[in-house]
Amino acid sequence: MARTGVFVCHCGTNIAGTVDIDQSVEASRGFPGVVHAGEYRYLCSEMGQDLIKNAIEEHNLDRVVVGTCSPRMHENTFRKAAAEAGLNPYMLEVANIREHCSWVHREMDEATPKAIALLRAAAAKVALNDPLDIPELDVEKRALIIGGGIAGIQAALDIAEAGYVVDIVEREPSIGGRMAQLEKTFPTLDCSACILTPKMVEAAQHPNVNLITYSEIDEVKGFVGQFDVKIRQKARSVDSVKCTGCGICWEKCPSKAPSEFEMGMAKRKAIYVPFPQAVPNVPVIDRDNCLYFKKGRCQICAKECPPEAIDFEQQDVVIERRYGAIIVATGFDQLDPSIYGEYGYGQHPDILTGLEFERLFNASGPTGGKVVRLSDGKPPRNVVFIQCIGSRDKARGMNYCSKICCMFTAKQAILLKEKVPDARSYVFYIDVRTAGKGYEEFQRRAAEEYDVAYLRGQVGKIFPEEDHLVVHGVDSLSGKIVEIKADMVVLAAASIARCDAPEVGRKVGINSDSYHFFNEAHPKLRPVETHTAGVFIAGACQAPKDIPDTVAQASAAAVKAIGLLSKEKLQGEACTAEVIQDECSGCLNCIAVCPYTAITEVEIEERHHGGTLKRTVAQVNPSLCQGCGSCTATCRSGSINLKGFTNEQILAEVDAICL
């Protein structure tokens, strides 16, 4: 017979406020198998854990139920406590009487009976618990980083410095990401390239870092410590080993296409590096625009290339590699503001997004660093910045703040004044948000020293008139309608999740919020982990973020990955499926539903009417099994069970809840 102890937590008033603790304890005493019941103000505290440990010894308990917060919060805490008192950690069950009870019900006469029902179910389940062993797993001492922006680079360097090999997979031909597109960074006005490119080069030259550029993730299988990843390296059409990056090919190439890096504001050649500081400095051939691939003639690049590095026959290569940990740092996209008809984006060359305007300042940008109107090449006198394009817009379901726009707008207004001294900037804003070290001071400088007019209000319409744009807006502080003759309009378009974020999340096993940003495991306490063990996130793929936050998060993710890689063995999943081979009929339907190929068919010998009989049955590999239990529901003969969630345990919970 079970000797169960039940412990009910007050959680201050979080539980005790709506659940009658005394009544719950009293009721628990009457559950089958319960020999002791107690309560404590904070069970998760050291004192609370000691209370459990002492009771285990004093009452000779062999299993424990705690009525506390969600098992997703403290199950491990209590399992550890039970283990310290000599129990197998799996001889414990959690009744979630906080998140699923006291916090969602307001009345005590409603929450208390429910809490008792949940405790009763946990007690019924724990009576059927068996001690479980935690399998030990190997760790592949190699990390994968998806995304080669500043987050990916920083994480890679940190991991490499700790002595582990790390691969960066970057979709574009060069690492660098969004930060490479920026001219200056707020609030210090550091030249972005000047602080980024040394890190790019460091990553390229570090003996522990491998750059796998122009590549994408095809498939991720496996689990923490042993992720098996297929990386598709797209055909570059250039031999990276032979190429010296001399640049003759892209000088001679006769075919042009819009540059992705310049967001279509400038042209690049069909053989190109995305920007001058590209790392690796090896071009790619854009086969959609190359004359040879289109028409079968040209090959000028191949004729001109001194080391004969051009290889038109190159094919996509799939690299298969095993990794212990994965960091996803895929960054963000900028919203296309043309969904807002009133701003006229896309209909006039002088209406730009923030990122497009940024490129005008850059010496290698579309205008060679001259801030001029794209329509007529003249420097702008009046520039209107409009904030929150697609941010904080409840009507369109984009409720969040993009966080960086207030600051980059202040930066661009300052840079503009420096480049075009008689220019005047107007900023339409909802609120100016400048939380961050030195940010408020920076924005104040823009307003006070750089003559930037901040207008609290929104713009209703922008239309061209003669050689300028008329911006119709409201200044809500003065209550007046404002009309500005602008030479340029810059839209602070929202930072949004990458368009393929859901696909990447699905491949790697990260879930997303309603805006498709990746979810961290806990919003406060586990900001870089995900719910998939061994997969971490960093940078703007999690939420809009500035560079300092991105770098900090990247280093944090790196530390988590290093911690994982430094382990000799990892603890695997204890709740795995198990086949009762005597009962298995060998239909092997379970193999088809197992997502981890953890089930194989084996032949067993059985005694049968005096002789032996060979028979095919299923067998689970516990180090591959992740414990989803799909096989158990598929099994016709009910001969697979899932440890920790057995059929008997779940039915016992059902029975107890329905009492």
Which residues of the chain form contacts with other proteins (CB under 8 A)? Answer: 70-73, 96, 98-101, 103-106, 110-111, 113-114, 117-118, 121, 502, 505-506, 509, 511-514, 519, 531-532, 575, 593, 595-596, 626-630, 632-634, 642, 645, 647, 650-651, 653-655, 657-659
The residues that bridge with 9 in the sheet, in sequence order, are: 40
Backbone angles phi, psi at 310, to 5 degrees: -70, 130
Q: How far is the CB of 96 from other proteins (least distance, A)?
A: 7
Interatomic CA distance for residues 210 and 204, integer angstroms: 7
Closer of 187 and 644 to other proteins (Cβ): 644
Residues near 608 by beta carbon (within 8 Å), at least 6 away in sequence: none
Q: State how far Cα 265 lies from the chain centre.
A: 30
Assigned token pair, 632: 């158990």
Closer of 306 and 595 to other proteins (Cβ): 595
**Alpha carbon separation from 375 to 266, 365, 462 (Å, rounded):** 13, 16, 16
The total number of residues shown for the chain amounts to 659
Tokens 């009417």, residue located: 609
Interatomic CA distance for residues 265 and 591, integer angstroms: 53
Tokens 């390296």, residue located: 233
Q: How far is the CB of 32 from other proteins (least distance, A)?
A: 13
Backbone angles phi, psi at 168, to 5 degrees: -105, 125
Burial of 42 (0-12, 13-18, 19+ CB in 10 A): middle
Q: Are strands 267-269 and 332-334 parallel, antiparallel or unpaired?
A: unpaired
CB atoms within 10 A of CB 143: 31
Contact between 553 and 526 under an 8 Å Cβ cutoff? The reply is no
CA dihedral 645, 649, 655, 656 (to 10 degrees): -90
Burial of 168 (0-12, 13-18, 19+ CB in 10 A): buried
Interatomic CA distance for residues 172 and 167, integer angstroms: 15
